A and B are shown apart, each in its own frame.
Chain A
Amino acid sequence: GQQLNQSPQSMFIQEGEDVSMNCTSSSIFNTWLWYKQDPGEGPVLLIALYKAGELTSNGRLTAQFGITRKDSFLNISASIPSDVGIYFCAGQLRSYGQNFVFGPGTRLSVLP
Chain B
Amino acid sequence: NAGVTQTPKFQVLKTGQSMTLQCAQDMNHEYMSWYRQDPGMGLRLIHYSVGAGITDQGEVPNGYNVSRSTTEDFPLRLLSAAPSQTSVYFCASSSVSTEAFFGQGTRLTVV
Chain B nearest CB, measured from A66 CB (Å): 19
Q: Which residues of B contact A101 (CB under 8 A)?
A: 45
Q: Which residues of B contact A33 (CB under 8 A)?
A: 99-100
**Chain A: CB-nearest residue to B38:** A104
- In the bound complex, CA of A102 to CA of B92 (Å): 13
Q: Which residues of A contact B2 (CB under 8 A)?
A: none
- In the bound complex, CA of A104 to CA of B44 (Å): 9
The verdict on A48 contacting B99 (CB below 8 Å), with A42-B90, A99-B45, A105-B42 known, is yes
- B59 lies within 8 A of A104 (CB): no
- A97 lies within 8 A of B42 (CB): no
- B56 lies within 8 A of A104 (CB): no
Out of A40, A42, A95, A104, name the residue touching B42 (CB < 8 Å).
Answer: A104
Q: Mark B41-78, 1 if CB is under 8 A from A, else 0.
A: 11111001010000010110000000000000000000
- Please provide the chain A residues from 86 to 112 with a CB less than 8 Å away from any CB of chain B in the complex: 88, 90, 95-105
Q: Mark A33-52, 1 if CB is under 8 A from B, else 0.
A: 10100001111110010000
**Chain B: CB-nearest residue to A103:** B42
- In the bound complex, CA of A48 to CA of B95 (Å): 14
The verdict on A98 contacting B90 (CB below 8 Å), with A4-B42, A88-B43, A104-B41 known, is no
B33 touches A (CB below 8 Å): yes
- B31 lies within 8 A of A1 (CB): no
- A98 lies within 8 A of B105 (CB): no
B96 touches A (CB below 8 Å): yes
Q: Mark B22-47, 1 if CB is under 8 A from A, else 0.
A: 00000000110101000011111100
Chain B nearest CB, measured from A24 CB (Å): 14
Residue ranges of A at the interface with B (Cβ–Cβ < 8 Å): 1, 4, 6, 9, 33, 35, 40-45, 48, 88, 90, 95-105
Known interface pairs A98-B100, A102-B42, A102-B43; 15 further A-B residue pairs with C-beta atoms within 8 A, sorted by A's residue number: A6-B42, A40-B104, A41-B104, A42-B104, A43-B90, A88-B42, A97-B50, A98-B48, A98-B94, A98-B95, A99-B48, A99-B58, A100-B100, A102-B35, A105-B42
